Amino acid sequence: MKTIYLDNAATTQIDDEVIEIMHTSMQENYGNPSSIHQFGRKAKSAVETARKNIAKHFNVTATEIIFTAGGTEADNLILHNAVLNLEVKRIITTKIEHHAVLHTCNHLKKTHHIIVDYVDVDKFGSIDIHHLETLLKTSKEKTLVSLMMINNEIGNLLDVDAISKICKNYNALFHSDTVQAIGHYPVDLQNTPIDFIVASAHKFHGPKGVGFAFFKKGFGILPMFHGGNQEKGARSSTENVHAILGMEKALEIAISNLEEDKNHIEDLKKYFISELKKISEEIQCNGLSSNLEKSSYTILNVRLPFTNDMLLFSLDLAGIAVSGGSACQSGSNKGSHVLSEFLNDKDADKTSIRFSFSKYTTKHEIDFVISCLNDNIKTQI
Protein backbone atom coordinates (compact mmCIF):
# COMPACT_ATOMS: atom_id res chain seq x y z
CA MET A 1 0.00 0.00 0.00
CA LYS A 2 1.20 3.49 -0.86
CA THR A 3 1.96 5.60 2.23
CA ILE A 4 1.99 9.38 2.38
CA TYR A 5 3.34 11.32 5.35
CA LEU A 6 1.79 14.75 5.92
CA ASP A 7 2.38 15.12 9.66
CA ASN A 8 5.73 16.91 9.57
CA ALA A 9 4.74 19.38 12.30
CA ALA A 10 4.72 16.35 14.61
CA THR A 11 8.06 14.95 13.44
CA THR A 12 10.07 14.65 10.25
CA GLN A 13 11.87 11.99 8.27
CA ILE A 14 15.56 11.92 9.16
CA ASP A 15 17.81 13.11 6.35
CA ASP A 16 20.10 10.40 4.91
CA GLU A 17 23.19 12.56 5.52
CA VAL A 18 22.18 12.92 9.17
CA ILE A 19 21.86 9.14 9.54
CA GLU A 20 25.30 8.72 7.97
CA ILE A 21 26.89 11.23 10.37
CA MET A 22 25.28 9.55 13.38
CA HIS A 23 26.22 6.07 12.19
CA THR A 24 29.85 7.09 11.81
CA SER A 25 29.81 8.72 15.24
CA MET A 26 28.37 5.58 16.84
CA GLN A 27 31.19 3.53 15.36
CA GLU A 28 34.10 5.89 15.93
CA ASN A 29 33.16 8.45 18.56
CA TYR A 30 31.98 6.41 21.54
CA GLY A 31 33.90 8.07 24.36
CA ASN A 32 32.21 9.88 27.24
CA PRO A 33 32.75 13.65 26.80
CA SER A 34 33.42 13.94 30.55
CA SER A 35 36.32 11.46 30.44
CA ILE A 36 39.83 12.91 30.39
CA HIS A 37 41.40 10.25 28.14
CA GLN A 38 41.72 10.63 24.36
CA PHE A 39 38.37 8.96 23.64
CA GLY A 40 36.59 11.40 25.95
CA ARG A 41 38.48 14.38 24.59
CA LYS A 42 37.53 13.40 21.04
CA ALA A 43 33.85 13.22 21.98
CA LYS A 44 34.04 16.51 23.91
CA SER A 45 35.69 18.22 20.95
CA ALA A 46 32.93 16.98 18.62
CA VAL A 47 30.20 18.29 20.94
CA GLU A 48 31.84 21.70 21.34
CA THR A 49 32.44 22.04 17.60
CA ALA A 50 28.76 21.27 17.02
CA ARG A 51 27.81 23.88 19.63
CA LYS A 52 29.92 26.54 17.88
CA ASN A 53 28.52 25.69 14.45
CA ILE A 54 24.92 25.75 15.70
CA ALA A 55 25.48 29.08 17.47
CA LYS A 56 26.80 30.67 14.26
CA HIS A 57 23.47 30.02 12.51
CA PHE A 58 21.75 32.31 15.04
CA ASN A 59 24.53 34.90 15.32
CA VAL A 60 25.19 34.06 18.98
CA THR A 61 28.09 32.62 20.95
CA ALA A 62 28.57 28.93 21.76
CA THR A 63 28.31 29.65 25.49
CA GLU A 64 24.68 30.71 24.97
CA ILE A 65 23.61 27.27 23.65
CA ILE A 66 22.61 24.52 26.09
CA PHE A 67 21.92 21.06 24.68
CA THR A 68 18.73 19.36 25.91
CA ALA A 69 16.61 16.31 25.11
CA GLY A 70 14.28 18.47 22.99
CA GLY A 71 11.99 21.47 22.92
CA THR A 72 9.87 20.50 25.92
CA GLU A 73 12.87 20.23 28.22
CA ALA A 74 14.29 23.48 26.81
CA ASP A 75 11.01 25.32 27.49
CA ASN A 76 10.92 23.92 31.03
CA LEU A 77 14.54 24.87 31.69
CA ILE A 78 13.93 28.45 30.54
CA LEU A 79 10.65 28.97 32.43
CA HIS A 80 11.94 27.43 35.65
CA ASN A 81 15.08 29.58 35.46
CA ALA A 82 13.03 32.71 34.87
CA VAL A 83 11.20 32.13 38.15
CA LEU A 84 13.81 30.43 40.32
CA ASN A 85 16.91 32.25 39.13
CA LEU A 86 15.91 35.52 37.44
CA GLU A 87 13.26 36.60 39.99
CA VAL A 88 10.39 36.66 37.50
CA LYS A 89 7.10 37.03 39.39
CA ARG A 90 4.76 37.14 36.42
CA ILE A 91 4.47 35.31 33.09
CA ILE A 92 2.39 36.62 30.20
CA THR A 93 1.48 34.01 27.59
CA THR A 94 -1.57 32.83 25.61
CA LYS A 95 -3.96 29.92 25.95
CA ILE A 96 -2.90 28.61 22.52
CA GLU A 97 0.73 27.89 23.40
CA HIS A 98 2.20 24.40 23.30
CA HIS A 99 1.53 22.46 26.49
CA ALA A 100 5.27 22.48 27.21
CA VAL A 101 4.70 26.15 28.07
CA LEU A 102 1.11 26.10 29.35
CA HIS A 103 1.51 23.18 31.75
CA THR A 104 4.84 24.51 33.02
CA CYS A 105 3.32 27.92 33.70
CA ASN A 106 0.46 26.28 35.61
CA HIS A 107 2.96 24.26 37.64
CA LEU A 108 5.00 27.36 38.49
CA LYS A 109 1.82 29.18 39.45
CA LYS A 110 0.88 26.42 41.90
CA THR A 111 4.34 25.81 43.35
CA HIS A 112 5.84 29.31 43.34
CA HIS A 113 2.70 31.47 43.33
CA ILE A 114 3.67 33.45 40.25
CA ILE A 115 1.06 35.45 38.34
CA VAL A 116 0.08 34.03 34.94
CA ASP A 117 -1.78 36.37 32.57
CA TYR A 118 -3.08 35.48 29.12
CA VAL A 119 -2.99 37.70 26.05
CA ASP A 120 -6.21 37.77 24.02
CA VAL A 121 -6.25 36.27 20.54
CA ASP A 122 -8.55 37.32 17.71
CA LYS A 123 -10.90 35.16 15.62
CA PHE A 124 -7.92 33.92 13.61
CA GLY A 125 -5.84 32.98 16.64
CA SER A 126 -3.49 35.97 16.26
CA ILE A 127 -2.02 37.78 19.25
CA ASP A 128 -3.70 41.04 20.29
CA ILE A 129 -0.59 43.21 20.57
CA HIS A 130 -2.52 46.10 22.13
CA HIS A 131 -3.74 43.78 24.88
CA LEU A 132 -0.16 42.62 25.46
CA GLU A 133 0.89 46.23 25.98
CA THR A 134 -2.05 46.79 28.33
CA LEU A 135 -1.01 43.78 30.39
CA LEU A 136 2.59 44.98 30.55
CA LYS A 137 1.42 48.39 31.79
CA THR A 138 -0.68 46.98 34.62
CA SER A 139 2.10 45.62 36.82
CA LYS A 140 5.58 46.54 38.01
CA GLU A 141 6.40 42.91 38.80
CA LYS A 142 9.35 41.45 36.91
CA THR A 143 7.74 39.81 33.86
CA LEU A 144 8.54 37.19 31.25
CA VAL A 145 6.54 37.16 28.00
CA SER A 146 6.31 33.67 26.46
CA LEU A 147 4.82 33.55 22.93
CA MET A 148 5.55 30.94 20.29
CA MET A 149 7.00 32.07 16.96
CA ILE A 150 4.87 29.63 14.93
CA ASN A 151 1.79 27.97 16.35
CA ASN A 152 2.21 24.23 15.93
CA GLU A 153 -1.47 23.62 15.09
CA ILE A 154 -2.57 26.54 12.91
CA GLY A 155 0.81 27.80 11.70
CA ASN A 156 0.23 31.47 12.58
CA LEU A 157 3.45 33.52 12.47
CA LEU A 158 4.24 35.82 15.39
CA ASP A 159 5.74 39.23 14.66
CA VAL A 160 8.76 38.58 16.89
CA ASP A 161 10.39 41.88 15.93
CA ALA A 162 7.39 43.84 17.21
CA ILE A 163 7.10 41.72 20.36
CA SER A 164 10.83 42.11 21.07
CA LYS A 165 10.53 45.90 20.91
CA ILE A 166 7.47 45.94 23.18
CA CYS A 167 9.18 43.73 25.74
CA LYS A 168 12.26 45.95 25.70
CA ASN A 169 10.10 49.06 26.18
CA TYR A 170 8.58 47.56 29.34
CA ASN A 171 11.75 45.83 30.60
CA ALA A 172 10.16 42.40 30.19
CA LEU A 173 12.09 39.27 29.28
CA PHE A 174 11.01 37.55 26.04
CA HIS A 175 10.90 33.78 25.55
CA SER A 176 9.70 32.28 22.29
CA ASP A 177 9.05 28.60 21.62
CA THR A 178 10.65 28.48 18.19
CA VAL A 179 10.40 24.72 17.66
CA GLN A 180 8.33 25.03 14.45
CA ALA A 181 10.51 27.86 13.11
CA ILE A 182 14.08 26.57 13.50
CA GLY A 183 15.31 25.08 10.24
CA HIS A 184 12.46 26.67 8.29
CA TYR A 185 12.93 30.41 8.88
CA PRO A 186 16.10 32.47 9.41
CA VAL A 187 16.54 33.55 13.03
CA ASP A 188 19.17 36.21 13.75
CA LEU A 189 19.23 36.91 17.47
CA GLN A 190 21.28 40.07 17.05
CA ASN A 191 18.68 41.65 14.77
CA THR A 192 15.75 40.27 16.79
CA PRO A 193 16.84 40.35 20.43
CA ILE A 194 14.81 37.46 21.89
CA ASP A 195 16.16 36.45 25.30
CA PHE A 196 15.35 32.74 25.10
CA ILE A 197 14.52 30.37 22.23
CA VAL A 198 14.28 26.59 21.90
CA ALA A 199 14.79 23.97 19.19
CA SER A 200 14.03 20.31 18.64
CA ALA A 201 16.05 18.49 15.97
CA HIS A 202 13.31 16.13 14.86
CA LYS A 203 11.29 19.06 13.50
CA PHE A 204 13.93 19.74 10.80
CA HIS A 205 14.89 16.22 9.67
CA GLY A 206 17.20 15.49 12.57
CA PRO A 207 17.01 12.82 15.29
CA LYS A 208 14.47 12.70 18.10
CA GLY A 209 15.54 13.23 21.70
CA VAL A 210 17.84 16.20 21.17
CA GLY A 211 17.41 19.97 21.02
CA PHE A 212 18.77 23.10 22.63
CA ALA A 213 17.88 26.12 24.70
CA PHE A 214 19.34 29.55 23.98
CA PHE A 215 19.98 31.75 27.01
CA LYS A 216 21.15 35.25 26.17
CA LYS A 217 24.56 35.98 27.62
CA GLY A 218 24.40 37.33 31.16
CA PHE A 219 21.67 35.04 32.45
CA GLY A 220 22.92 32.46 34.89
CA ILE A 221 21.35 29.01 34.65
CA LEU A 222 20.19 26.81 37.51
CA PRO A 223 19.95 23.14 36.47
CA MET A 224 16.75 21.12 36.70
CA PHE A 225 18.80 17.88 36.72
CA HIS A 226 21.58 17.35 39.25
CA GLY A 227 24.44 14.90 39.15
CA GLY A 228 27.26 15.26 36.65
CA ASN A 229 27.59 19.00 36.12
CA GLN A 230 27.56 18.68 32.29
CA GLU A 231 26.65 21.57 29.96
CA LYS A 232 28.63 24.01 32.11
CA GLY A 233 26.55 22.95 35.09
CA ALA A 234 23.25 23.76 33.36
CA ARG A 235 22.20 20.17 32.61
CA SER A 236 23.58 17.10 34.31
CA SER A 237 23.51 14.00 32.08
CA THR A 238 26.03 12.50 29.70
CA GLU A 239 25.72 14.36 26.42
CA ASN A 240 23.94 12.54 23.59
CA VAL A 241 26.95 12.90 21.30
CA HIS A 242 25.59 11.13 18.23
CA ALA A 243 22.26 12.99 18.35
CA ILE A 244 23.98 16.34 18.86
CA LEU A 245 26.13 15.74 15.77
CA GLY A 246 23.01 14.67 13.89
CA MET A 247 21.24 17.87 14.92
CA GLU A 248 24.21 19.95 13.79
CA LYS A 249 24.15 18.30 10.36
CA ALA A 250 20.36 18.55 10.02
CA LEU A 251 20.45 22.26 10.82
CA GLU A 252 23.30 22.84 8.37
CA ILE A 253 21.35 21.11 5.59
CA ALA A 254 18.11 22.92 6.42
CA ILE A 255 19.66 26.38 6.45
CA SER A 256 21.77 25.74 3.34
CA ASN A 257 18.65 24.77 1.37
CA LEU A 258 16.16 27.01 3.14
CA GLU A 259 14.97 29.10 0.17
CA GLU A 260 14.82 26.16 -2.23
CA ASP A 261 12.85 24.03 0.23
CA LYS A 262 10.56 26.91 1.13
CA ASN A 263 9.69 27.57 -2.52
CA HIS A 264 8.98 23.89 -3.13
CA ILE A 265 6.77 23.46 -0.06
CA GLU A 266 5.00 26.79 -0.53
CA ASP A 267 4.05 25.85 -4.08
CA LEU A 268 2.59 22.57 -2.82
CA LYS A 269 0.62 24.37 -0.12
CA LYS A 270 -0.84 26.81 -2.67
CA TYR A 271 -1.77 23.93 -4.94
CA PHE A 272 -3.33 21.96 -2.09
CA ILE A 273 -5.50 24.92 -1.05
CA SER A 274 -6.71 25.45 -4.62
CA GLU A 275 -7.58 21.76 -5.02
CA LEU A 276 -9.44 21.71 -1.71
CA LYS A 277 -11.62 24.60 -2.88
CA LYS A 278 -12.52 22.57 -5.98
CA ILE A 279 -13.93 19.85 -3.73
CA SER A 280 -16.11 22.32 -1.82
CA GLU A 281 -16.19 26.05 -1.15
CA GLU A 282 -17.51 25.15 2.31
CA ILE A 283 -14.09 23.88 3.35
CA GLN A 284 -12.42 26.51 5.55
CA CYS A 285 -8.90 26.97 6.90
CA ASN A 286 -8.39 27.53 10.61
CA GLY A 287 -6.42 30.50 11.86
CA LEU A 288 -4.29 32.16 9.22
CA SER A 289 -3.00 28.88 7.83
CA SER A 290 -4.21 29.67 4.29
CA ASN A 291 -2.48 33.07 4.33
CA LEU A 292 0.96 32.49 2.83
CA GLU A 293 2.32 35.74 4.28
CA LYS A 294 1.09 35.26 7.85
CA SER A 295 1.44 31.52 8.39
CA SER A 296 4.13 28.88 8.13
CA TYR A 297 4.50 27.43 4.66
CA THR A 298 4.70 23.97 6.23
CA ILE A 299 1.29 23.92 7.99
CA LEU A 300 -2.30 23.98 6.75
CA ASN A 301 -5.16 23.43 9.21
CA VAL A 302 -8.40 22.60 7.39
CA ARG A 303 -11.94 22.66 8.82
CA LEU A 304 -14.52 20.55 7.04
CA PRO A 305 -18.23 21.48 6.92
CA PHE A 306 -19.25 18.46 9.00
CA THR A 307 -18.21 16.22 11.89
CA ASN A 308 -16.70 12.82 11.10
CA ASP A 309 -14.79 11.26 13.98
CA MET A 310 -13.63 8.42 11.73
CA LEU A 311 -12.11 10.52 8.95
CA LEU A 312 -8.53 10.46 10.28
CA PHE A 313 -8.85 6.69 10.69
CA SER A 314 -10.14 6.38 7.12
CA LEU A 315 -7.21 8.39 5.80
CA ASP A 316 -4.82 6.26 7.81
CA LEU A 317 -6.31 3.12 6.25
CA ALA A 318 -5.64 4.72 2.87
CA GLY A 319 -1.98 5.18 3.90
CA ILE A 320 -2.21 8.92 4.63
CA ALA A 321 -0.71 10.20 7.89
CA VAL A 322 -2.14 13.49 9.14
CA SER A 323 -3.16 14.96 12.49
CA GLY A 324 -6.35 16.25 14.01
CA GLY A 325 -4.39 18.67 16.15
CA SER A 326 -1.10 18.40 17.96
CA ALA A 327 0.40 14.92 17.88
CA CYS A 328 2.08 15.83 21.16
CA GLN A 329 -1.31 15.12 22.72
CA SER A 330 -1.48 11.54 21.46
CA GLY A 331 -3.88 9.43 23.47
CA SER A 332 -5.99 12.39 24.49
CA ASN A 333 -9.67 12.35 23.59
CA LYS A 334 -9.95 16.08 24.11
CA GLY A 335 -10.38 18.49 21.24
CA SER A 336 -7.72 21.00 20.25
CA HIS A 337 -7.13 23.57 23.00
CA VAL A 338 -5.91 25.90 20.26
CA LEU A 339 -8.98 25.76 18.02
CA SER A 340 -11.42 25.86 20.93
CA GLU A 341 -9.88 29.15 22.06
CA PHE A 342 -10.97 31.16 19.01
CA LEU A 343 -13.59 29.12 17.14
CA ASN A 344 -17.26 29.19 18.14
CA ASP A 345 -18.70 25.95 19.54
CA LYS A 346 -20.33 24.98 16.24
CA ASP A 347 -17.11 25.31 14.23
CA ALA A 348 -14.96 23.79 16.97
CA ASP A 349 -17.13 20.64 16.81
CA LYS A 350 -16.50 20.21 13.10
CA THR A 351 -13.72 17.93 11.90
CA SER A 352 -10.40 19.75 11.48
CA ILE A 353 -7.28 18.23 10.00
CA ARG A 354 -3.72 19.53 10.21
CA PHE A 355 -1.69 18.81 7.08
CA SER A 356 2.01 19.58 7.43
CA PHE A 357 4.44 19.33 4.54
CA SER A 358 8.19 18.81 4.10
CA LYS A 359 10.84 18.94 1.40
CA TYR A 360 10.08 15.28 0.69
CA THR A 361 6.39 15.94 -0.11
CA THR A 362 5.50 15.65 -3.81
CA LYS A 363 2.69 16.96 -6.02
CA HIS A 364 1.77 13.38 -6.87
CA GLU A 365 1.20 12.72 -3.16
CA ILE A 366 -0.95 15.82 -2.85
CA ASP A 367 -3.08 14.63 -5.77
CA PHE A 368 -3.62 11.27 -4.08
CA VAL A 369 -4.64 12.93 -0.80
CA ILE A 370 -7.04 15.25 -2.61
CA SER A 371 -8.59 12.24 -4.34
CA CYS A 372 -9.11 10.46 -1.01
CA LEU A 373 -10.54 13.57 0.60
CA ASN A 374 -12.87 14.07 -2.35
CA ASP A 375 -14.21 10.53 -1.94
CA ASN A 376 -14.79 11.02 1.79
CA ILE A 377 -16.14 14.57 1.71
CA LYS A 378 -18.52 14.32 -1.24
CA THR A 379 -20.46 11.56 0.53
CA GLN A 380 -21.18 13.85 3.49
CA ILE A 381 -21.93 17.20 1.91
Three-state DSSP at 144 gives strand
Residues 309, 380: contact at Cβ < 8 Å? no
Residues 87, 142: contact at Cβ < 8 Å? yes
Tell me, what amino acid is at 236? Answer: S
> What's the CA gap between 105 and 116, in Å, rounded?
7
Of the candidates 182, 138, 128, the residue with the CA atom closest to the CA atom of residue 159: 128
Question: Strand 4-5 relative to strand 196-200: parallel, antiparallel, unpaired?
Answer: unpaired
Q: How many residues does the chain have?
A: 381
Q: Is 328 a catalytic residue?
A: yes
Distance from chain centroid for Cα 256: 20
Sign of CA dihedral 285, 291, 296, 298: positive
Interior angle at CA 228, CA 198 and CA 44, nearest 5: 70
> What's the CA gap between 273 and 209, in Å, rounded?
33
DSSP-derived secondary structure for 197-254:
EEEEGGGTTS-SS-EEEEE-TT-----SS-SS-TGGGT--S---HHHHHHHHHHHHHH
The catalytic residue among 105, 167, 328, 372 is 328
Of the candidates 346, 281, 354, the residue with the CA atom closest to the CA atom of residue 307: 346
Residues 65, 212: contact at Cβ < 8 Å? yes
DSSP-derived secondary structure for 23-47:
HHHHHH--S-TT--SHHHHHHHHHH
Of the candidates 198, 201, 247, 214, the residue with the CA atom closest to the CA atom of residue 66: 214
- Which residues are catalytic, by number? 328
